[in-house]
Structure 1
Amino acid sequence: MTDFSDVFDTEMVGRWAAPGRVNLIGEHTDYNDGFVFPMAIDRTTTITVGRRDDRLLRVASTFEDGLHEMSLDALDPEAMSGWSAYVFGIAWALGQKLPEVLGLPSAASALSGAMGLDIFVESSVPVGAGLSSSAALECAAAVCFAELWSLDVTRQFLASVGQLAENDAVGAPTGIMDQSASLLGQADSAVFLDCRSLDAEVIGLGFGVASLELLVIDTHVEHAHATGGYVERRASCEKGAALMGVPSLRDLDVDDLPRASSILDDVTFRRVRHILTENQRVLDTVRTLRTNGPGAIGPLLDASHVSMRDDFEISVPELDLAVATSQDAGAIGARMTGGGFGGAAIALVPTALRDAVSAAVLDAFAAADYREPTIFAVHAADGAHRVD
Structure 2
Amino acid sequence: MAERAFAGFRTEYGGDPAGYWVAPGRANLIGEHTDYNDGFVLPFALPQHTVVAAAAARRPNWSAWSEMNGERISFDDAGMAPGAVPDWGAYVAGVVWALREAGHRVPHAELAIASDVPLGAGLSSSAAIESAVLTALADLGDLDLPVDDRPRLAQRAENEYVGAPTGVMDQSASIRCREGHALFLDCRSLEVEHIPFDLAGDGLAMVVVDTRAEHRHVDGEYADRRRACEEAARRLGVPALRDIDADDLPAALDRLPDEVLRRRVRHVVTENQRVRQTVELLRSGRIRDIGPLLTASHASMRDDFEITVDEVDTAVTAALSAGAYGARMTGGGFGGCVLALVDAAFADAVAAAVTGAFADRGFTRPRSFTVLPGPGAHRLS
Q: Into which bin does the TM-score normalised by the smaller protein fall?
A: over 0.9
Partner in structure 1 of residue 55 of structure 2: 50
Whether 1:41 aligns to 2:46 is yes
Verify the 8 A CA contact 2:9 2:16 in the aligned structure 1. no
Say yes or no: does 1:4 pair with 2:9: yes
2:350 partner letter: V
Deviation at residue 226 of structure 1 after TM alignment:
7.2
Shift of 1:60: 1.0
Q: Tell me how far 1:352 sits from its aligned partner.
A: 1.3
Whether 1:207 aligns to 2:199 is yes
Contact 2:217 2:334 in 1 (8 A): no
SS at match of 1:68: strand
In 2, are the aligned partners of 1:172 and 1:225 still within 8 Å (CA)?
A: no
Question: Could you report, residue by residue, the CA deviation over 1:10-69 in whole angstroms, capped at 9, with x for unpaired residues?
Answer: 441111110000000000100100000000110000011122133211111111133211
Structure 1 segments, 4+ long, off by >3 Å, are none
| Residues in 1 aligned to 2:85 and 2:153: alpha-carbon distance in whole angstroms | 16
Q: Any residues of structure 2 matched to 1:263-342 within 5 Å, and which?
A: 263-264=255-256, 265-342=258-335
- Matching residue of 2:374: 381
Deviations 1:247-290 (A, max 9, x none): 11111121222222222210011001100000000000000112
Whole-angstrom distance in 1 between the partners of 2:71 and 2:91: 16
Q: Which residue of 1 aligns with 2:190?
A: 198
Q: Distance in 1 between matches of 2:295 and 2:287?
A: 14
CA contact (8 A) 1:225 1:339 kept: no
Please state how far the C-alpha of 1:184 moved relative to its aligned partner: 1.0
Residue 145 of structure 1: CA displacement? 0.8
Q: 1:198–1:115: structure 2 CA closer, same or farther, 3 Å change rule?
A: closer
1:33 counterpart letter in structure 2: D
Counterpart residue number, 1:248: 240
- Deviation (angstroms), 1:73: 4.2
Q: What is the SS of the residue equivalent to 1:74?
A: coil
Question: Does the CA contact (< 8 Å) of 1:54 and 1:115 recur in 2?
Answer: no
Structure 2 Cα separation of the partners of residues 40 and 259 of structure 1: 37
In structure 1, the gaps of 5 or more residues are: 100-109
2:314 partner amino acid: L
Asked whether the 8 Å contact 2:253–2:265 carries over to 1, the reply is: no
CA distance in 1, matches of 2:236, 2:288: 37
Q: Which residue of 1 aligns with 2:342?
A: 349
Does residue 143 of the first structure (1) align with residue 135 of the second (2)? yes
CA distance in 2, matches of 1:375, 1:154: 36
**Which residue, 23, 33, 48 being the options, matches 1:28?**
33
Deviation at residue 224 of structure 1 after TM alignment: 7.4
**Equivalent position SS for 1:78:** coil
Q: Kindly indicate whether residue 369 of structure 2 is the aligned counterpart of residue 364 of structure 1.
A: no
Contact 2:50 2:116 in 1 (8 A): yes
**Match status 1:120 vs 2:112:** yes
- 1: CA distance, partners of 2:143 / 2:222: 34
Q: Name the counterpart of 2:66.
A: 61
Change (3 A) 1:226 1:68: farther
Partner of 2:82: 77
Superposed displacement of residue 362, structure 1 = 0.6
Q: How many residues align?
A: 375
Change (3 A) 1:66 1:292: closer
Deviations 1:344-370 (A, max 9, x none): 000000011111101111110001000
The alignment yields a C-alpha RMSD, in angstroms, of: 1.4
2:223 alignment partner, one of 224, 231, 234: 231
Q: Secondary structure of 2:193's match?
A: strand
1:326-385 Cα deviation digits (max 9, x unpaired): 000000000000000000000000011111101111110001000000000111001101
- 3-state secondary structure, aligned to 2:99: helix
Aligned match of 2:208 in 209, 212, 216? 216
Amino acid at match of 1:238: E
Distance (Å, rounded) in 2 between the aligned partners of 1:375 and 1:217: 4
Mark the runs of 5 or more structure 2 residues left unpaired by the alignment. Answer: none
Matches of 1:49 and 1:301 in 2, distance apart? 39
Partner-residue secondary structure (3-state), 2:267 = helix
Q: Which residue of 2 aligns with 1:181?
A: 173
Deviates more, 1:296-305 or 1:202-211: 202-211
In structure 2, what is the Cα distance between the partners aligned to 1:379 and 1:241? 36
Q: Distance in 2 between matches of 1:238 and 1:289?
A: 31
Pairwise mapping of residues 95-134 of structure 1 onto structure 2 (< 5 A)?
Answer: 95-97=100-102, 99=103, 110-111=104-105, 114-134=106-126
